[in-house]
């Protein structure tokens, strides 16, 4: 187990290292100079040069890469060119929007998907099953930004129940904050719920086929009894894996939705930083997001390995 752990840990570190190089190089070759962007079209060339020096942009590439890497290892993610505050502070602010939004969307999608998946599996080939299948087919086909526009049209522009965008901050009160996140969370949750419901249904049906479930039924339990007592618990493993993956996907994947609803979240921070050539923010936030994905995968692997020793020897 320890050996497996070490091997996976090495792989994680190597992935992070490779990712840091990729991110650094890509942001390095992006056309557009942060300093000229900040100074605008009437800027004095001398002033732009002075700003480049101030930002450290005139140093060699290798020096800047190492400075960034060493800084991150010490927990220092650098200072935003445009906002002039530490990146960690910006990320800290934004994660207070993105994280609740992600959890909200995940909660919604789970709340919809679980019953839908269970009903669909329990009543296979009934109207209810077909309704769920049809709805999920539609759900995965709808682009979430279009769905978001329809939500805005219906609930903000016409009904005035919600505002069409913006985030008042948690200072405005928990309810106000949650209200602002409701439409975005619904827009994000719909496709995720569809995927989850389908996984739920098929993994339930798979487990219902397995020997121990058949044995249970042979012992005289009804179909729904076996479903609740045996199949559900076993079907949860793939479902929870998907939930874990969706978490890291949503954390970064809200970017378009954050733009549609104008939420000050992580996705929009990076998107803005890219257009403003605030490269240090782009780099550091992407690395953090990559780390989140890699870490989640690592934890899932570890959990599997702990549960099933055979997996430890299986190369991925």
Binding flag, residue 175, other proteins (CB under 8 A): yes
Q: Which of 1, 6, 18, 311 binds other proteins (CB under 8 A)?
A: 18
Q: Which of 1, 32, 225, 306 binds other proteins (CB under 8 A)?
A: 32
From 97, 92, 77, select the one nearest 279 (Cα to Cα).
77
Closer to other proteins by Cβ: residue 192 or 220: 192
Binders in 207-226 for other proteins, by CB under 8 A: none
CA atoms within 13 A on the CB side of 150: 9
Binding flag, residue 293, other proteins (CB under 8 A): yes
Query: DSSP string spanning 217-282?
Result: HHTT--HHHHIIIIIHHHHHHHHHHHHHHHHHHHHHHTHHHHHHTT---HHHHHHHHHHHT-HHHH
Closer to other proteins by Cβ: residue 19 or 221: 19
Closer to other proteins by Cβ: residue 123 or 219: 123
Binders in 259-288 for other proteins, by CB under 8 A: 259-265, 267-271, 274-277, 282, 286
Helix (H, G, I), strand (E, B) or coil at 17: helix
Vertex 269, ends 263 and 272: CA angle to 5°?
Answer: 105
Q: Which of 9, 22, 66, 306 binds other proteins (CB under 8 A)?
A: 22
Q: List, in order, residues 6 or more apart from 84 with CB less than 8 Å away.
A: none
Closest approach, Cβ 274 to other proteins, in A, equals 5
Binding flag, residue 143, other proteins (CB under 8 A): yes
Binding flag, residue 142, other proteins (CB under 8 A): yes
């Amino acid at each position: 187990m320890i050996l497996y752990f070490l091997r996976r840990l090495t792989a994680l570190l190597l992935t992070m290292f490779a990712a840091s190089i990729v991110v650094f190089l890509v942001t390095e070759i992006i056309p557009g100079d942060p300093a000229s962007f900040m100074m605008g079209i009437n800027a004095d060339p001398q002033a732009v040069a002075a700003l480049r020096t101030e930002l450290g942009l005139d140093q060699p590439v290798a020096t800047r890469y190492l400075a960034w890497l060493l800084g991150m290892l010490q927990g220092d993610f650098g200072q935003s060119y445009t906002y002039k505050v530490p990146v960690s502070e910006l990320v800290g602010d934004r994660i207070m929007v993105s994280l609740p939004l992600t959890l909200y969307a995940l909660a919604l999608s789970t709340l919809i998907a679980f019953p839908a998946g269970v009903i669909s599996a329990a009543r296979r080939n009934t109207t209810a099953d077909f309704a769920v299948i049809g709805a999920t087919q539609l759900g995965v086909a709808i682009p979430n930004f279009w769905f978001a526009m329809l939500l805005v049209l219906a609930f903000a522009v016409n009904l005035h129940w919600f505002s069409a965008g913006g985030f008042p901050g948690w200072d405005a009160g928990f309810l106000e904050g949650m209200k602002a996140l409701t439409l975005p969370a619904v827009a994000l949750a719909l496709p995720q719920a569809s995927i989850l419901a389908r996984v739920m249904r098929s993994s339930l049906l798979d487990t219902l086929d397995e020997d121990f479930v058949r044995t249970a039924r042979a012992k005289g339990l009804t179909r729904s009894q076996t479903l609740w007592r045996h199949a559900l618990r076993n079907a949860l493993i793939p479902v929870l894996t998907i939930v874990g993956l969706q978490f890291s996907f949503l954390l970064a994947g809200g970017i378009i939705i954050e733009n549609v609803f104008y939420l000050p979240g992580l996705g929009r921070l990076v998107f803005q930083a890219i257009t403003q050539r605030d490269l240090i923010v782009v780099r550091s936030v992407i690395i953090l997001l990559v780390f989140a994905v890699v870490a989640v995968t690592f934890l899932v692997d570890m959990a599997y390995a702990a549960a099933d020793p055979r997996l430890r020897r299986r190369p991925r």
